[in-house]
Amino acid sequence: MPGVTLDAVRKEFPGGAIAVDDLSLEIADGEFMILVGSSGCGKTTALRMIAGLEQPSAGTIRIGDRVVNDVSARDRDIAMVFQNYALYPHMTVARNLAYPLRQRRMPKREIAERVREVAEMLSLDGLLGRRPAQLSGGQRQRVAMGRALVREPEVFLLDEPLSNLDAKLRIQMRAALKRLHARLGVTTVYVTHDQVEAMTLGDRIAVLSEGKLQQLGQPQEVYDLPANAFVAGFIGSPAMNLLRGRIRDGRVTAGDLALERAGVPDQELLVGVRPEALSTASEGMPSFDLHVAVVEPLGDEVIVHGSVQAEVARVTAEESDGVLLADDGDRANAVARLDPGSRPKVDSVIRLGVRAADVHLFNADTGNAIR
């Protein structure tokens, strides 16, 4: 089973918009690769180019060793699950599932056999006679997947397949997808804007922003060692706290947080600390004050929102979802995840500490990580 390779792929739309810029990606045979990023980052366009629904403006796309730039979508032996499922509304589930096989002129008996198999695998057996309009969202999603699976394609493409499902169903389907991939081992490319899906499903994830690849790596790697401030802020929920700061003579300062970091030249910085890396300050830890604004008890932990003394760091335009408090001059918003024992009071000031090794440094101009 071949992998997929994108080599310096670029997509420019008439009008000048550059959806994908110099994307190079090698997806190994049997790998579950996730393309993740916020809307407009080019992930769907990249997926559609692999599918053959869009033509790259430059670069090559390979499936296995075959260059497929000029091969039409129907001949690429790829199956795709669309975001809105794209089920044929006038056909029953059975006929929807059978459709790809009928197009390939498979003998009827074999078609019936395969349809049965797939229906059983996805628990659709009772629904074969129904039309899409009579199915629930989750059932439709499974039919869409079934239709893709029934062909036993070389590559499996999924375009935000879970985004139209409710939260509970989403979690169930995530697990089901993972089991399915483990069982079938088909090379899969999966697009999502949800970083939780990315982290939980992917063998490797590719973080994209504005058409460019920001980082490629295994989920844990991307989490632990983000390549730049964008990735740092995108992966992890709640997002990493990013504060403006600087390093002089090996001493990092950001607001009232201070720590030593050797071997890094003087420069303006973005200092990143994950909410989960924060705890009530103890001796010897770099620490800073947090003015508590909102306390969210979750049972196994407490999420504390507040402000710290610092300049606010602006990384991307859509960064501020979940920000409850207005920035106030020389204070920045920060979030901490603390253990349930600590129950800070609103409007109090708590001292939060972090291990020096858990502090990420990024150059303030380029956003690139500094190790």
133 binds another protein (CB under 8 A): yes
66 touching another protein, by CB under 8 A: no
Question: Does the footprint of another protein cover residue 282 (CB under 8 A)?
Answer: no
Which one of the spans 84-92, 164-172, 239-247, 321-329 is the region binding another protein (CB under 8 A)? 84-92
Sheet hosting strand 360-363, strand order edge to edge: 257-260, 251-254, 241-248, 267-273, 360-363, 369-370
The nearest distance, CB 137 to another protein, in angstroms, is 15
**Options 1, 60, 74, 251; binder of another protein; rule CB under 8 A:** 74
**Cα–Cα nearest to 352, from 304, 287, 300, 292:** 287
Q: Which of 307, 357, 343, 341 is nearest to 327 (CA)?
A: 307
Segment near another protein (CB under 8 A), from 37-45, 95-103, 222-230, 304-312? 95-103
Member of 142, 151, 274, 305 binding another protein (CB under 8 A): 151
Report in angstroms how near the CB of residue 50 gets to another protein at its nearest. 11
110 is a contact residue toward another protein (CB under 8 A): no
Residues 6+ apart with CB under 8 A from 72: 52
Please pick, from the candidates 7, 18, 64, 88, the single residue that binds another protein as defined by CB under 8 A.
88
- Residue 249's CB is within 10 A of a number of other CB atoms, namely 7
Among 1, 24, 60, 84, binds another protein (CB under 8 A): 84
Return the number of the residue (82 or 128) whose C-beta is nearest another protein: 82
Nearer residue to another protein within complex by CB, 74 or 248: 74
Give me the sheet containing 287-297, strands edge to edge: 279-280, 349-353, 287-297, 302-309, 331-338
Residue 221's contacts (CB-CB under 8 Å, 6 or more residues apart) are none
Q: Contact positions toward another protein, by CB under 8 A? A: 51-53, 70-75, 78-80, 82-84, 86-90, 99-100, 103-104, 133, 147, 151
